[in-house]
Structure 1
Amino acid sequence: MADRPGQVYLVTGGCGFLGRHLVKILVERGEGISEIRVFDTKVDRDLESLSTDLVTVKIVQGDITDRHQLLRATDGVDVILHTASIVDVFKRIPEAIIQKVNVQGTKHVIEACVANGVQRCVYTSTMEVASNEKQWMHMERCNEDTPDMSSHTLPYTKSKAAAEKLILEANGRQVSGGKRLATCVLRPMGIYGEGCVLLRGTFENAVRLRGCLVRLGPPAVHIGRVYVGNVAWMHVLAASGLAETPGLLGGQFYYCSDESPDKSFMDFNMEMLRPCGVRLMGQERPVLPYFVVYMLVLLVELLQLVLCPFCSFSPSLNRYTLARASATFTVRTDKATRHFGYRPLYSWEQSKERTVRWLQSLPQQVHSHRRD
């Protein structure tokens, strides 16, 4: 790697799911790094214990929506890995808040780069920005040259597409000190691994249902997934690549995938849940036809609308998540390998083993809820 000794990295959202893995990878495999600043609204001092004789991990509590906090935190920083984001596909958070964090917060990150002479910024986007949410076309074996047919209706995906555009347009912008800012965007497939909130929620649902889940989406639909450790590793390599060949990486986006098999959401999750004692009803086909499930979801959304003056609730299954689980989205690309030498750090077998071990370590286990 090309980092000179004494590099200072700042990870926005560093206490989150991806951020924690990223900090750990930076400590273990980053080269020439003297300090990693973990910038987040919440504080987890346990991350400071990752510090070594060579690398100091420092927690900086702050909010990317506060420009002044971000300016102070990025003073003396060489690289920003911008992972902080509100992820909401369940319509639980007002659109104004999502825009404030995901879009305005990203503007503040760029402004901090310019004001403090930060020369590299890697942004964590999502595969969702390539989706056409009006037609929900199957997208199979996509790569970065696949024609853009995207259309966004969900506040979350609209905000991620807007933030991605800001980051890419900031590439080449002059920063304090006369240097140029180099930026790139990573679009991970669905991320899983230790600490994954969605996977943990699915597991807890199975516990409540005495170890049984019901298939909803069609098994023939395949969705790409990627292990969190490999996503973190790709960020480290991309940051280094921006230093070595900014003219090649700058202004580019990259899909982030690995050796994880392309399967339906349910079938993929069962790869991790089955060793934990979870059973699946509807092995070959959904228990209920798609039309019936869609009508039930629509009724629930109408009920939400009627009850919103009195109470609020947001089920995990809505029209967006049902459509996403019913449309193929897979990628086949070597652009990250060609541009900055990315190869998965963890094999599928290792990724699965680590995830299963984490699930099995959770306090509540399926077998404790079964009746003899």
Structure 2
Amino acid sequence: MSTKSQSQAPGRLVLVTGGAGFIGSHLVDALVAAGMRVRAIDNFATGRREYVNRAAEFVEADIRDAASINDAFDGVDTVFHVAALPRIPLSIAKPVETHMTNVVGTLNVLIAARDRKVRRLVYSGSSSVYGEQAKMPLVETMTPNPLNPYALQKYVGEQYARMFHRLFGMQTITLRYFGVYGPRMPDEGSYVLAIAAFLKARREGRALEIHGDGEQTRDFTHVSDVVSANILAMDCELADGRAINIGRGENVSVNRIAAMIGGPTVHRAARAGDMRDTLADRTQAERVLGWRPRVSIEDGIADLLFQGP
């Protein structure tokens, strides 16, 4: 029997950290639908109880507290480490707090996975690690240039994942997400994705606030495409600590996004620590994972406008 058929056999136990959050809850839903036994961890720092799939085993725990999460790794085949505090302004204002979740929490997850002999860990990385680069598209061979504590913390996390492969032989792979959006995306807090902020402003009858000139571009990726990349990463042949871009390979200006959502706009000062442009080279995602995005930005936003976030 092949490795893939063994690992995809019904009843395989997988663990999702941040399983009550935006991306994590969608991933849990998909894994349950695929017939997996799913265990989820969350402390509800950003997740919501109503997002927890009732068919999944749920553990309320905090990845910053190693003792509270260790037993959750028993019998686990694959860990999807999605838990994070993804707030750039928060990381600038409170770098120690975000470091504890994004770096120390990640290290705790890796140690628990190693000690409980987990086969593979898929780490949710971030395209923010690239920072400003001289050329587009962004390719994995570029030297990272983090512009804010969050980006640096995510880069440290993926370096730890790579190191655990090299030191302990653990199968690890990092997926660098580009501008993930879709249903359940957060629209509260000091930093939310432009799409979420615009949709909320439209619902409330307010002007859409654009930071800077609005000509900055983002490679927005629908959450369903990110979920499919994670599932493919469970059993791809190469899990040697490498990082792989998960983005559509198309970017769009913030002004265009505002026009697609509709309504009056107002410009505010540009935010510190933001990248000017993002655009993913998805060559490695296609080659290693066999992954291609399916949801266009037009279809994704139309769906959100129809259904609500």
TM-score range, shorter chain: 0.7 to 0.9
Alpha-carbon contact 2:123-2:175 (below 8 Å) kept: yes
Instruction: Give the superposition deviation at 1:173.
Output: 4.4
Query: What is the aligned partner in structure 1 of residue 159 from structure 2?
Result: 165
Aligned pair partner of 1:265 in 254, 267, 282: 254
Partner secondary structure for residue 38 of structure 2? strand
Residue 80 (str. 1) matches residue 69 (str. 2)? no
Query: What is the aligned partner in structure 1 of residue 288 from structure 2?
Result: 339
Supply the distance in 1 between the matched residues of 2:258 and 2:72 (Cα, whole angstroms).
38
TM-score (structure 2 length as normaliser): 0.85
Change (3 A) 1:39 1:225: same
Alpha-carbon contact 2:21-2:51 (below 8 Å) kept: no
Query: What is the aligned partner in structure 1 of residue 200 from structure 2?
Result: 204
Instruction: Give the superposition deviation at 1:214.
Output: 5.0
Query: What is the aligned partner in structure 1 of residue 170 from structure 2?
Result: 181
Alpha-carbon contact 1:44-1:59 (below 8 Å) kept: no
Query: What is the aligned partner in structure 2 of residue 222 from structure 1?
Result: 217
Supply the distance in 2 between the matched residues of 1:349 and 1:202 (Cα, whole angstroms).
15
Alpha-carbon contact 2:25-2:51 (below 8 Å) kept: no
Alpha-carbon contact 1:123-1:167 (below 8 Å) kept: yes
Aligned pair partner of 2:239 in 228, 238, 249: 249
Supply the distance in 1 between the matched residues of 2:165 and 2:299 (Cα, whole angstroms).
36
**1:189-237 alpha-carbon deviations (Å, 9 max, x no partner):** 11111122223333334455x4433544345432211111111110111
Change (3 A) 1:332 1:46: closer
User: Which structure 1 segments of 5+ residues have no match?
Assistant: 52-56, 175-179, 282-286, 294-316, 363-372
Supply the distance in 1 between the matched residues of 2:158 and 2:11 (Cα, whole angstroms).
29
How high is the sequence identity, in percent, across the aligned residues?
Answer: 23
TM-score (structure 1 length as normaliser): 0.72
Alpha-carbon contact 2:20-2:51 (below 8 Å) kept: no
Amino acid of the residue matched to residue 85 of structure 2? I
How well do the aligned residues superpose, as a CA RMSD in angstroms? Answer: 2.5
**1:100-156 alpha-carbon deviations (Å, 9 max, x no partner):** 11111111111111111101000001000111xxxx4454222223x31x3335221
Instruction: Give the superposition deviation at 1:80.
Output: 0.4
Query: What is the aligned partner in structure 1 of residue 40 from structure 2?
Result: 38
User: Which structure 2 segments of 5+ residues have no match?
Assistant: 187-191
Query: What is the aligned partner in structure 2 of residue 319 from structure 1?
Result: 272
Query: What is the aligned partner in structure 1 of residue 300 from structure 2?
Result: 351
Supply the distance in 2 between the matched residues of 1:138 and 1:207 (Cα, whole angstroms).
38
Change (3 A) 1:12 1:263: same
Supply the distance in 1 between the matched residues of 2:102 and 2:199 (Cα, whole angstroms).
28
Supply the distance in 2 between the matched residues of 1:18 and 1:265 (Cα, whole angstroms).
22
Supply the distance in 2 between the matched residues of 1:215 and 1:5 (Cα, whole angstroms).
47
Alpha-carbon contact 2:15-2:80 (below 8 Å) kept: yes
**1:25-59 alpha-carbon deviations (Å, 9 max, x no partner):** 2122x36x2x101100036265333x3xxxxx111
Amino acid of the residue matched to residue 124 of structure 1? S
Change (3 A) 1:151 1:25: same
Partner secondary structure for residue 174 of structure 2? strand
Change (3 A) 1:319 1:46: closer
Instruction: Give the superposition deviation at 1:82.
Output: 0.1
Alpha-carbon contact 1:183-1:249 (below 8 Å) kept: yes
Supply the distance in 2 between the matched residues of 1:27 and 1:5 (Cα, whole angstroms).
10
Partner secondary structure for residue 201 of structure 1? helix
**1:147-194 alpha-carbon deviations (Å, 9 max, x no partner):** 31x3335221221111111011111544xxxxx410000001111111
Supply the distance in 2 between the matched residues of 1:130 and 1:191 (Cα, whole angstroms).
16
Alpha-carbon contact 1:249-1:339 (below 8 Å) kept: no
Query: What is the aligned partner in structure 2 of residue 22 from structure 1?
Result: 27
Amino acid of the residue matched to residue 229 of structure 1? S
Supply the distance in 2 between the matched residues of 1:215 and 1:85 (Cα, whole angstroms).
26
Supply the distance in 2 between the matched residues of 1:224 and 1:345 (Cα, whole angstroms).
14
Alpha-carbon contact 2:248-2:280 (below 8 Å) kept: no
Amino acid of the residue matched to residue 330 of structure 1? L
Amino acid of the residue matched to residue 77 of structure 1? V
Supply the distance in 1 between the matched residues of 2:57 and 2:200 (Cα, whole angstroms).
33
